[in-house]
Chain A
Amino acid sequence: DSGVTQTPKHLITATGQRVTLRCSPRSGDLSVYWYQQSLDQGLQFLIQYYNGEERAKGNILERFSAQQFPDLHSELNLSSLELGDSALYFCASSVEGDSYNSPLHFGNGTRLTVT
C-alpha cells in the first residue's frame, strides 16, 4: 500500500459529461501529480501541484482542470468527456516538489470509461 488514496476506483459515464476524480496524498507529502495511462500513449504526465500551487503542466487538455486544497488533497475535473478520454488516471505524491530528491508514490488509479 503506497498510502496514496484515489476515489472512485471505477467510473463509467457518457460522452459530454463531467466527472471529478479525487486523490489523497501520503501523509506528509506536499506534492501531487496527475497522470493518464492509455494503451497507445503510455503513462502521460498531466499536471503537478505543490503545497496548493500549480507547479508544472504537461499534456493536459483545456477540458481538464485540477486543484489542490489546503488539506493537500487534490481533485482532477474532466469535462465534455469524449470516448478518447477513457483511460486509467493516476495520482502520485512526493514529499518534495521535485523528483530528484523524493520518488513519486502512486495510487491505484481511477479507471474511467466513457460510453
Chain B
Amino acid sequence: SQELEQSPQSLIVQEGKNLTINCTSSKTLYGLYWYKQKYGEGLIFLMMLQKGGEEKSHEKITAKLDEKKQQSSLHITASQPSHAGIYLCGADSGDYGGSQGNLIFGKGTKLSVKP
C-alpha cells in the first residue's frame, strides 16, 4: 500500500509562475525528505524537515512540514526551466513499522516548466 501520497502526479507551468507540490503521510512522521530527480539520473537531496511547523528554503524552493507532521508542501517561486524534473518526498520506513534507516518514497511529481 502507498503510504506517502504525492499530488499532483504531474504539473506543467509557465516559466515565472509559482507552484506547490504536496506530500501526505498516513502516519505522523519523524522526518520528511524532499529530493529532485532529473530523468534517468540520480536523486538530489533538497531538504529535510523534522519539526512540526518547520519551514526551510533553498534559493527559490521552500518546504514546510505541518504541525501534525503528516503533510508537507514544496513551493517553488518564479519557476525556471532548471526546476523541471521529478520531485519525490521520502520518509523513514521506521515510521511505518519497517526497519529504521532506509527511506520509502512517494511516487513523485513530474514538473515541466514551459519557457
What is the interface of chain A, defined by CB distance below 8 A to chain B? 2, 4, 31, 33, 42-43, 45, 48, 50, 55-58, 88, 90, 92, 97-100, 103-109, 111
Given that A2-B44, A58-B102, A97-B101 are known contacts, is A42 also in contact with B107, CB under 8 Å in the complex? yes
Main secondary structure of the interface of A (DSSP, over half): strand
Interface size class of B (residues with CB under 8 A): 20 to 34
Task: Identify A99's interface contact among B92, B106, B107, B108, CB under 8 A.
Answer: B92
**Of all chain B residues, which has the CB nearest A2?**
B42
| Cα–Cα distance between A28 and B48 once the two chains are bound (Å) | 20
Q: Can you list 9 contacts pairing A with B, beta carbon distance less than 8 Å?
A: A4-B42, A31-B101, A45-B104, A56-B101, A58-B93, A90-B43, A97-B101, A104-B90, A108-B41
Q: Is the CB of B31 within 8 A of A99?
A: yes
Q: Is the CB of A48 within 8 A of B101?
A: yes
B103 in the interface (beta carbon within 8 A): yes
| Cα–Cα distance between A48 and B92 once the two chains are bound (Å) | 13
Q: Which residues of B in the span 81-115 have a Cβ within 8 Å of any Cβ on A? A: 88, 90, 92-94, 98-108
B3 CB to nearest chain A CB (Å): 12
**Of all chain B residues, which has the CB nearest A50?**
B101
A95 CB to nearest chain B CB (Å): 12
Q: Is the CB of B99 within 8 A of A57?
A: yes
Q: Is the CB of B103 within 8 A of A109?
A: no
Interface string of B43-54 (1 = CB under 8 A from A): 111001010000
Q: Is the CB of A111 within 8 A of B102?
A: no
Give the residues in chain A near B43, CB-CB below 8 Å: 43, 90, 92, 106
Q: Is the CB of A100 within 8 A of B88?
A: no
Give the residues in chain A near B108, CB-CB below 8 Å: 42-43
